[in-house]
Structure 1
């Protein structure tokens, strides 16, 4: 990675973004190395993969980012079923605070057992995530080799505008269809834009650039964070629904499945208080 600096000794925007990418790479490795809090590590590793993927479009188009993007996507995707199983159990606990008649302790226990079993099986196939960590190391080596210093403020601004257009397009389609897939696509694009805004804002601060635009980026990122949190509950609820369908049949599970069609609309609207 080139180490270009400005006359005042501060790194240029691209170099600062490269430093932030390197920091995120270290966070990814730390997350995969976590043993005592596996689910937290899985969650943090997937977030690091998404953040790093959001940085790649900021690079000049001639940069070889396709393989890196694909590698990060595959790493996050491999961990997704484990994260979803954990989300399903957590969502059931939240719902039980307000709907304990239907979300019984037996249902919660079944979801937690399913989560633990899936994690145990995954660790048997890849003890201590050795294979995943080796994959991450290879991806990180490629990330370090990218020409981060070639990123110019004009290119970053152009990338952010393109991401904003993609969010607006996804929003329009989600508003028209209200389908889970469309809502999830809207959330993914909004989250990606939020990450990009946060990275560029931090890099501008490190580079000593004017605060006005950085403050606008911070305000936009904050709004997107509230949006993605709201859409996130809907996604978590859909993951819960899918998990209930996969549980072994029991009296409580059958009763919940009968009740869900009439309750899903109201239960998915807002996250219940813990």
Structure 2
């Protein structure tokens, strides 16, 4: 009787996922409110948007998630250029440290100026992210209104199977095509599956469900984390290449562009992580 009472007091899988989604919503709002560490806030806000998008497919198909998904996607996309500009600087510094390159101090300063100018321009258009925060509040309210209690373990398993098929398909195409776009699609799908596994692992623990499957989800998420980290470096390198193309012409920039033509293939495979 004691064990049964203890089990009955635990939340259902859907209730646990609702709690986790609420926590992620709070993280999103806090990230957008950050002022002193603006780039960290941008990064955390985009991660929260991606995590929340990953959890929506776990809801029953009849739930009105399309508008929420679209809103999260647009919010994340609005911050993407700012994050990319910051990552271009970060990647340049990593390459300058790890390789003999033409990434000189003037080039780094040009990338840093570009990053600062983009932030300044964005903040003039949306001071302290007020418009974005209003939109985020609207999205959060819509997320809270969804019927999380309707989520069933069987539906979660079906969703994971579908996500795994999408990852396998993207992986095959990426290995066949060897293009940045294909690799990025593989990374996005692998990351989404990883988030789903992490959410379900935590929710199952909260709901007191069988440990074996819960542990499997944790192991699978850990493997996917290694995959997305490796693919993430390639994406960061591509962002760096695109940023260099957009810098004003100078002797230093032109020299770096010439060097990138011959070395970019080997650099893109470099195991550089912060």
User: Which TM-score bucket, shorter chain as reference?
Assistant: over 0.9
Q: Could you tell me whether the CA contact under 8 Å between 1:6 and 1:12 is conserved in 2?
A: no
Structure 1 residues 38-59: Cα deviation after superposition (integer angstroms, max 9, x where no partner): 0000000000000000000000
Whole-angstrom distance in 2 between the partners of 1:36 and 1:271? 31
Report whether the alignment pairs 1:52 with 2:52. Answer: yes
Cα distance in 2 for partners of 1:9, 1:30 equals 31
Provide the C-alpha distance between the structure 1 equivalents of 2:6 and 2:114, rounded to a whole number of angstroms: 54
Q: 1:1-274, aligned counterparts within 5 Å? A: 8-272=8-272
Alpha-carbon offset, residue 271 of structure 1: 3.1
Instruction: Find the aligned partners of 1:220 and 1:242 in 2 and give their Cα distance.
Output: 33
- Report the 3-state secondary structure (helix = DSSP H, G, I; strand = E; otherwise coil) of the residue aligned with 1:259: helix
Q: Could you tell me whether the CA contact under 8 Å between 1:53 and 1:69 is conserved in 2?
A: yes
Distance 1:106-1:47 versus aligned 2 partners, 3 A rule = same
User: Does the 8 Å CA contact 1:11/1:206 hold for their aligned counterparts?
Assistant: yes
Report how far residue 7 of structure 1 moved.
5.9
State the distance in 2 between where 1:222 and 1:245 align. 35
8 Å contact from structure 2 (residues 95, 101) kept in 1: no
Q: CA deviation at 1:8?
A: 1.6
1:153-209 CA distance string (max 9 Å, x none): 000011001000000000000010011000000000000000000000000000000
Contact kept? 1:97, 1:273, Cα under 8 Å: no
Whole-angstrom distance in 1 between the partners of 2:83 and 2:100: 24
How far 1:98 moved relative to its partner?
2.3
List per-residue Cα deviations over 1:108-157 (Å, max 9, x = no partner).
11001100110011001111100000000000000000000100000001
Classify the secondary structure of the residue corresponding to 1:101: coil
Compute the RMSD of aligned alpha carbons.
1.3
- C-alpha change, 1:131 and 1:170, in structure 2 (3 Å) is same
- State the distance in 1 between where 2:250 and 2:99 align: 18
Contact 2:84-2:239 within 8 A present in 1 as well: yes
Q: What is the CA–CA distance in structure 1 between the aligned matches of 2:273 and 2:151, rounded to whole Å?
A: 44
Unpaired runs of 5+ residues, structure 1, are none
> Is 1:11–1:207's contact at 8 Å kept on the other side of the alignment?
yes
Q: CA deviation at 1:101?
A: 3.5
CA distance in 1, matches of 2:222, 2:85: 28
Q: Quick one: structure 1 residues 149 and 257, their matched pair in 2 at CA, closer, same or farther if it must change by over 3 Å? A: same
TM-score between both structures, scaled by the size of structure 1: 0.97
Q: 1:187 to 1:25 in 2, by over 3 A?
A: same
